[in-house]
Amino acid sequence: MNFPSDFIRFLTTAEQVVVLTGAGVSQESGLRTFRDAQTGLWAQYKPEDLASPEAFARAPKLVWDWYAWRREAIKGARPNPGHYALVEMENRIPNFTLITQNVDGLHRFAGSKNVLELHGNIQRVRCSECGMFTETWGDDTEAVPVCHECGGLLRPDVVWFGEALPRGELEAAVRAARACQVFFSIGTSGVVQPAASLAHAARNNGSVVVEINAEPTPLTPRVDYAFHGKSGELLPELVKAVWRN
């Protein structure tokens, strides 16, 4: 990929960069999206039957088993070159914030440090009653594991349909988007709110907005630079073009 020289020069001197990542980045590590993962036994259910507070109240074991199955599927996944290129960018840029809609934890696995997980992390479990996090639990039990503190049912630390995004992470993401010089939208459709609004918040505050995605999205006409292809290929090329040493 021949990146525009003016873009390379600008990124070389940029000190505040924000990156938003979506499912496309994880797909390159072999992970299916939520709906694509609904095969076999799980194909008979609507997404909201597996990932909503109402579903958990109605059939907690069903919801627990769905996430246990997904955690098992994620175990074999590894970060791809795109993940590692973002780690390199964070090491090179003074003020770098990575915002992700993914719940698989692969960015942290790769070594990214300043990560805002807008939709939570499927590898974490917390109490549905008191909110206490737990480090150990059993996925193969006949009943949903319970909290050691209050006895409430444990649940995955992810955002379900009908739930608000974690306030602290969302507010930090908005602040970072409004303050950055460059905003990257990578592997995301740009339509899922409120994450989709971050690119517009950045643009409205004078940021250069860059899209890296397999195909054009509704955001494409509004960005300054659009590069279409696999992020696992384009990001390493971009890092090499900007920081040749």
Active site residues: 119
Q: Are 243 and 92 in contact (CB under 8 A)?
A: yes
Q: What are the phi and psi torsion angles at 160 (to 5°)?
A: -90, 165
* DSSP 8-class letter at 37: T
**Residues 25/78, Cβ–Cβ less than 8 Å:** no
Strands 120-127 and 133-134: what pairing? Answer: antiparallel
Residues 144, 162: Cα–Cα separation, whole Å: 22
Burial of 29 (C-beta count, 10 Å sphere; 0-12/13-18/19+): buried
Q: CA-to-CA distance for 213 and 226, rounded, in angstroms?
A: 8
Q: How far is CA 177 from CA 18, 183, 184, in A?
A: 6, 7, 10
Residues 202, 16: contact at Cβ < 8 Å?
A: no
